[in-house]
Structure 1
């Protein structure tokens, strides 16, 4: 594991809690089982338990290295027992490596969050809109009424998300808690249009009752209307009443933070729904348009929400109150990109008039060479951006790559990336671009901070074209990373890429590596993931 530049600086991380140096210290302490350092760091900043870099967390390193005491301490301080920042859950990582005690520790922690069989059974009946079945279950046992499923939903949450008035009435008549909170903080009234996993527009029948009708039903049954939902629904009287009682609510992010309406900050909800009078009211009461929503919108979510919903007047109002004009959003690029993708020319011009500009790495990703050319002409140093070059190359933006090389001809020495290929005529073009990057010094064995190389990535996705190109330029294939502790052959076996397995074996891949970790050998991955054809191919090779 090599220390990334961002984790070498004693500065706040953009997408994570904590500073770079503290997050790195947490990673190292978790990896080494240094419990005293973990305690000291969490006493200094309790949020470091959620610290991450490229989605990896302290808990992930503790599990990978079988550090039981460290893992138990992190769990006791509310670390997730599930998320690893990789394709595998933490318990899968422990199971793969044969860490029995770690697996038991995680199972015990998950049992506290995991739903019951009653919760899963009644949730299924509600999703299938089987009122008779639900009523029967409730009559069989009272345990069903508040039983949680594996996602933390109680029956009342499912009845609301699936928008079934009769189901809601039945559950409430039996004593369901109309204010029941899920582990993520969501209450029923915040779920009238579903959530990220169960989406109202996708998963609810078109002829179902509309979300606003469910909202009114919940209010009629006494649901508490907080400032976020009041802002979303345009209830100015209620918002004013709440602010009069507690002005700090203008900057209070709800317990439930997601991309969905009803969560996060009041200003975001009012802006999203187009309620300009409530936006003005919140701003008059000190609402910060740049109020962070952890992990989603570090520079605020209100402006972005107004932009994607096309509320020009609200966007201008927020900008006039100091909103950052181009907000980065997790997994959603940024606000200016959203406006451009919506082909909302007036919105684009409005944002740009307040100083919005896309970062170079996004210009590269989208292939906006005209803007980039002007930027580089004005400030040539802007072309010194390895992430941007990786984006341009990985998306196959040939002209953008050539533009960057004109300013920074040695930049490829700091990257290693497979060029995107799409369509029958693309492989030749992609090879030409790859060859250009190699001519400028691209290292086929370049490693990231977890010692993952391009060949590992190609193996995972079965990218034979780029694997062949990199091997022809000297890419090593019998190398082991620090994440799966496996060779590219192991990665291919784990992910079921049969043709890649054959290709790597033909090119000299050793099926017996790593010697010291049999669980990370290719055949172990193939067996554990049920890739029987790959098992046969590897067995034939191992005993030749």
Structure 2
């Protein structure tokens, strides 16, 4: 991107330089036809400097400045204010360097620049989700109060991509878990009651994924109940498909460390052993739990007889366990438990490889495992 002095100073947050340039008559709007020359106000928003945004507006910068015959810039200045990535008419991609809070966004509204959320093709939906994913619930609520709405799939065919609607469901269910006071309002945005009534498995999958990531036990329980009703009402559905999904969700819950969700999924029929050796190493619930250092879940799965099914999975699990043992007393007790359960050497594993892994745990763990291997 080509920089002019004012844009360069704004992009780097040099307020004293910006003031000096303005005093010497620097233009606050670029008139160039060069598509690679950024507008000063856009640069201030993009770089995350609210004081510089205010300085430009106070000195008469026109936030609606655009090229003749084009309203692209009105959209682009909002995209910069909201943050995240956007692709404008010139096919340029701008990325925010830092988040923008509600007061920063309000500067545009106070200047009379309202977000035209109803405008055709206005690409704001992933900025709404971006605000939620970054934990900026205040920004999300502010935008919703000014007319922004999430696209929730399924809508009439062709209106929105399926992935975007599914992402919205997953994000809302995830955020609602961490914001119990706003949970009812958030779930109301996606008409949760209608989703439970419709029992669309693709929507349910998205909700469950977010609920597990966030640790939303009540929402997960509600979704599982609806899923059971959906399965029981369709005898032609391939038997066992829900059990497979339950096991996949168990792996995610084990990785995230939500023991109450692990118990709930096991109660609903998830397989503590995982699915099969065809899946990635970390997909086995016990490996996922060990990688996340969720030792209580590891021990729970061990008590249920879970263990890696093939040597490469076992090496990976043992490596995670040994690293936990090096760093904590609970981890060391886990390694001791594996020794007592005779789960250090499994069929098809190489003693030399086991000893190499044991060296990562320090002298005490190495000696413990060496005695068992010998």
What TM-score, normalized by structure 1, do the two folds share?
0.43
| Structure 1 CA distance for aligned equivalents of residues 293 and 348 of structure 2 | 21
1:490 is displaced (CA, Å) by 1.8
Q: Who is 1:311 aligned against?
A: 105
| Structure 2 CA distance for aligned equivalents of residues 450 and 266 of structure 1 | 43
Question: Which of the residues 306, 322, 328 maps onto 1:493?
Answer: 322
What does 1:312-327 align with in structure 2 at a 5 Å threshold?
Answer: 312=106, 314=108, 316-317=114-115, 319=117, 322-327=121-126
Mapped pair 1:240 → 2:69: no
Describe the shift of the 1:191–1:535 C-alpha distance in structure 2 as closer, same or farther (beyond 3 A): farther
Q: Who is 2:72 aligned against?
A: 286
- Deviation string 1:381-400 (CA, Å, 9 cap, x unpaired) is 16644454244235331111
1:460 is displaced (CA, Å) by 2.5
C-alpha contact (below 8 Å) 2:281/2:316 kept by paired residues: no
Corresponding residue SS for 2:298: helix
Question: Which of the residues 208, 218, 238 maps onto 1:399?
Answer: 218
Q: Who is 2:143 aligned against?
A: 347
C-alpha contact (below 8 Å) 1:492/1:501 kept by paired residues: yes
C-alpha contact (below 8 Å) 1:326/1:335 kept by paired residues: no
C-alpha contact (below 8 Å) 2:10/2:18 kept by paired residues: no
Question: Which of the residues 283, 287, 298 maps onto 1:467?
Answer: 298
| Structure 1 CA distance for aligned equivalents of residues 357 and 122 of structure 2 | 49
| Structure 1 CA distance for aligned equivalents of residues 10 and 348 of structure 2 | 52
Question: Which of the residues 342, 356, 359 maps onto 1:508?
Answer: 342
Unaligned runs of 5+ in 2: 88-93, 153-164, 178-182, 229-241
Corresponding residue SS for 1:462: coil
Q: Who is 1:12 aligned against?
A: none
1:511 is displaced (CA, Å) by 4.4
| Structure 2 CA distance for aligned equivalents of residues 269 and 280 of structure 1 | 16
Question: Which of the residues 359, 367, 374 maps onto 1:536?
Answer: 367
CA RMSD for the aligned pairs?
A: 4.7
| Structure 1 CA distance for aligned equivalents of residues 212 and 48 of structure 2 | 37
1:421 is displaced (CA, Å) by 6.3
C-alpha contact (below 8 Å) 1:361/1:388 kept by paired residues: yes
C-alpha contact (below 8 Å) 1:268/1:305 kept by paired residues: no
What does 1:71-470 align with in structure 2 at a 5 Å threshold?
Answer: 190-191=11-12, 212-213=15-16, 215=17, 237-238=26-27, 240-241=29-30, 243-250=31-38, 266=43, 268-269=45-46, 273=50, 274=53, 277=61, 279-282=63-66, 286-287=72-73, 289=76, 297=85, 310-312=104-106, 314=108, 316-317=114-115, 319=117, 322-327=121-126, 334-336=130-132, 341-342=137-138, 345-353=141-149, 359-366=168-175, 367=177, 368=183, 370-371=187-188, 373-377=192-196, 379-381=198-200, 384-386=203-205, 388-409=207-228, 410=242, 411-417=245-251, 418=253, 430=260, 433-444=261-272, 445-446=274-275, 450-452=280-282, 453-470=284-301
| Structure 1 CA distance for aligned equivalents of residues 45 and 345 of structure 2 | 53
| Structure 1 CA distance for aligned equivalents of residues 11 and 367 of structure 2 | 51
Unaligned runs of 5+ in 1: 1-178, 180-186, 193-210, 221-232, 252-261
